[in-house]
């Protein structure tokens, strides 16, 4: 079948998700990415994204088809999404929490050729994906929950870990740097990920790190905390960021956006912060949308469409 899970993979990106639940991770998780739908709805930038994103008119055909066939509206139904893994290739898991009633996700996937199975008592739909060169599985552990993975062992472990206080993942210590309810939260034991997958190694030896995107008092902020192998590596990374800032600031239209980019290196740790007024960001989003619409009008019906709205 052709990309039947693309809709499930992209919906959390366009719709955002809900508060991070460490209990959604398995004990061997070495990285995770989470997005908070509740915080997004209450934010200026998040509300803007949610307001202009509609699964039914999304420019990605698979999402439009999925929304029409299942009745799923990511802006309304998506409650939480967490992606995580142990670093090895094809060992990622996605946990999607939703509030939709009578959604026809199972029926849709079956119509695409998915076959029913049961793993440790949990109903599963699975199929071979030529594009991903693996077997994809979608589990339905209970109402309001979907678990997506690439092998039966990960599905079983993920379902067993859900809300299970006995299963504890070792989260990066840098997460302690963040408070409140970030729109986006991510963390990684990068040394463990590199050991599990040499292709994931970075040119600068980062041991671990975390990142958060938050909005408060009308200001969107992106903060990250990184721990390197040694102080020399941390200083090198700081110089790299400052060099990028200097180069980008040469463009007058970008200089104002770079003013708030700051780095602070201490021993083998590096903190990077950037912020901007949320209304300034949404104004740029409106300008970008207008430019795409103008280009479409100039090129005719076959021209480019807005990447956000598809119109």
Q: Where in the chain are the domains?
A: 6-161, 173-280
Residue with tokens 């963390």: 187
Instruction: Look at residue 9 and tell me whether its pLDDT is greater than 50.
Output: no
Contact 169, 25 (CB under 8 A): yes
Percent of the chain with pLDDT over 70: 84
Query: Given strand 269-277, what is the order of strands in its sheet?
Result: 115-119, 122-129, 134-139, 145-149, 92-98, 78-85, 31-35, 184-188, 206-216, 219-228, 269-277, 262-266
Comparing 52-61, 175-184, 185-194, which segment has the lowest mean pLDDT? 52-61
Contact 190, 209 (CB under 8 A): yes
| Residue 208 in tokens | 């671990």
Which residues, listed in sequence order, are joined to residue 115 by a DSSP beta bridge?
126
Top-confidence residue, 37 or 106: 106
pLDDT in tens, 185-212: 999 999 899 889 888 777 678 999 999 9
Instruction: Look at residue 52 and tell me whether its pLDDT is greater than 80.
Output: no
The pLDDT assigned to 26 comes to 92
pLDDT in tens, 243-300: 999 999 999 989 999 999 999 999 999 999 999 999 999 999 889 888 887 887 887 6
Contact 207, 187 (CB under 8 A): no
The pLDDT assigned to 197 comes to 87
Contact 226, 71 (CB under 8 A): no
What are the start-end ranges of the E strands in 120-268? 122-129, 134-139, 145-149, 184-188, 206-216, 219-228, 262-266
| Residue 294 in tokens | 């103008």
The pLDDT assigned to 37 comes to 76
Instruction: Look at residue 165 and tell me whether its pLDDT is greater than 50.
Output: yes
Single out the residue of 51, 50, 47, 45 nearest to residue 277, CA to CA: 45
Contact 52, 309 (CB under 8 A): yes
234 — pLDDT class (breaks 50, 70, 90): very high
pTM of the model: 0.81
Instruction: Look at residue 219 and tell me whether its pLDDT is greater than 90.
Output: yes
Percent of the chain with pLDDT over 90: 43
Top-confidence residue, 149 or 163: 149
The pLDDT assigned to 54 comes to 58
Comparing 22-26, 50-54, 63-67, which segment has the lowest mean pLDDT? 50-54
The pLDDT assigned to 109 comes to 87
66 — pLDDT class (breaks 50, 70, 90): confident
Distance from C-alpha of 92 to C-alpha of 29, rounded to nearest angstrom: 9
40 — pLDDT class (breaks 50, 70, 90): confident
What are the start-end ranges of the E strands in 26-167? 31-35, 78-85, 92-98, 115-119, 122-129, 134-139, 145-149
Single out the residue of 196, 219, 192, 229 nearest to residue 281, CA to CA: 219
In this prediction, residues 141-151 reach a mean pLDDT of 91
The SS3 call for residue 19 is coil
Contact 260, 301 (CB under 8 A): no
Rg (the chain; Cα; Å): 21
307 — pLDDT class (breaks 50, 70, 90): low
Question: Any residues with CB less than 8 A from the CB of 267 and at least 6 apart, and which?
Answer: 231, 234
The pLDDT assigned to 232 comes to 94
Crossing angle of the two packed helices 278-299 and 44-52, in degrees rounded to 10 = 20
306 — pLDDT class (breaks 50, 70, 90): low
Give how far Cα 65 sits from Cα of 12, 183, 199, 305, Å: 16, 28, 35, 18
Within 10 angstroms of residue 278's Cβ, the number of other Cβ atoms is: 21
Crossing angle of the two packed helices 6-15 and 61-70, in degrees rounded to 10 = 90
| Residue 206 in tokens | 């980062």
In this prediction, residues 219-243 reach a mean pLDDT of 95
As a whole number, the mean pLDDT across the chain is 83
Distance from C-alpha of 84 to C-alpha of 71, rounded to nearest angstrom: 27
């Amino acid at each position: 079948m052709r990309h039947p899970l693309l809709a499930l993979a992209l919906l959390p990106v366009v719709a955002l998700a809900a508060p991070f639940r460490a209990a959604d991770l398995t004990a061997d998780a070495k990285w995770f990415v989470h997005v908070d739908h509740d915080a997004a709805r209450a934010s200026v930038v998040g509300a803007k994204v949610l307001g202009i994103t509609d699964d039914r008119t999304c420019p990605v055909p698979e999402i439009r088809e999925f929304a029409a066939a299942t009745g799923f509206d990511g802006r309304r139904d998506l409650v939480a999404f967490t992606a995580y893994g142990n670093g090895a290739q094809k060992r990622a898991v996605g946990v999607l929490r939703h509030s939709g009633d009578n959604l026809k996700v199972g029926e849709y996937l079956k119509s695409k050729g998915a076959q029913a199975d049961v793993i440790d008592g949990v109903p599963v739909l699975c199929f071979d994906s030529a594009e991903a060169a693996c077997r994809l599985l979608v589990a339905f552990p209970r109402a309001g929950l979907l678990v997506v993975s690439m092998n039966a062992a990960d599905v079983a472990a993920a379902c067993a870990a859900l809300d299970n206080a006995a299963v504890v993942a070792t989260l990066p210590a840098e997460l302690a740097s963040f408070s409140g309810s970030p729109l986006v939260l991510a963390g990684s034991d990068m040394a463990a990920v590199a050991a599990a997958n040499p292709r994931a190694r970075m040119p600068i030896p980062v041991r671990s790190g975390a990142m958060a995107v938050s909005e408060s008092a009308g200001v969107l902020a992106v903060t990250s905390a990184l721990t390197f192998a040694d102080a020399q590596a941390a200083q090198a990374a700081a110089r790299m960021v400052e060099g990028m800032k200097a180069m980008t600031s040469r463009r007058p239209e970008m200089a104002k956006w770079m003013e708030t980019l700051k780095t602070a290196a201490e021993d083998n740790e590096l903190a990077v912060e950037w912020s901007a007024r949320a209304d300034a960001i949404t104004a740029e989003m409106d300008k970008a949308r207008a430019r795409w619409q103008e280009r479409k009008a100039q090129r005719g019906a076959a021209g480019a469409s807005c990447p956000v709205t598809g119109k």
